[in-house]
Amino acid sequence: MTQKVQKTYESVAWKWMRYSGILLIPLAWIHVLIQDVIVGVHAIDIDYVALRWANIGWQAYDFFLLAFTFAHGMNGLRQVLFDFVHGERARKAWSVALFIFWLLVSIIGTIALVKGARPELA
């Protein structure tokens, strides 16, 4: 019989780190393959980006790449901070601060994706 693990912020963060890491592998490699190998860095200009961001599929793809990458990085930073911060209240405060920072940057990135694709919304 397996014991059910209690859902805490730590257990959710642990799972998210693993899930985002697994999802980042294909997202990052497909991004590199398309942008650097197929299209080529020399061909990427503002028109290419505007054309790509006009497609909702590419907007979603870039959103997931941004959100998963940044979440993975923030969770890694949180783990490194916990090597130096030992008080429970301080750890909780850092966790909340990093989560809010991740959320704000993800929202700003999403706005940039949406408004970048539709300049009339700016």
Say which CATH number the domain at 83 has.
1.20.1300.10
Question: Each residue of 26-55: pLDDT tens digit?
Answer: 999 999 999 999 999 888 888 888 888 888
d(CA 95, CA 102): 10
Token reading at 18: 């693993």
Query: Is residue 1, in this structure, part of any structural domain at all?
Result: no
Query: Is residue 3, in this structure, part of any structural domain at all?
Result: no
Query: Is residue 56, in this structure, part of any structural domain at all?
Result: yes
d(CA 83, CA 81): 5
Number of domains in the chain: 1
**pTM to 2 decimals?**
0.73
3-state SS, the chain, equals CCCCCCCCHHHHHHHHHHHHHHHHHHHHHHHHHHHHHHHCHHHCCHHHHHHHHCCHHHHHHHHHHHHHHHHHHHHHHHHHHHHHCCCHHHHHHHHHHHHHHHHHHHHHHHHHHHHHHCHHHC
Question: Each residue of 89-104: pLDDT tens digit?
Answer: 999 999 999 999 989 9
Domain boundaries, position 73: 9-121
Query: Is residue 4, in this structure, part of any structural domain at all?
Result: no
Query: Is residue 39, in this structure, part of any structural domain at all?
Result: yes
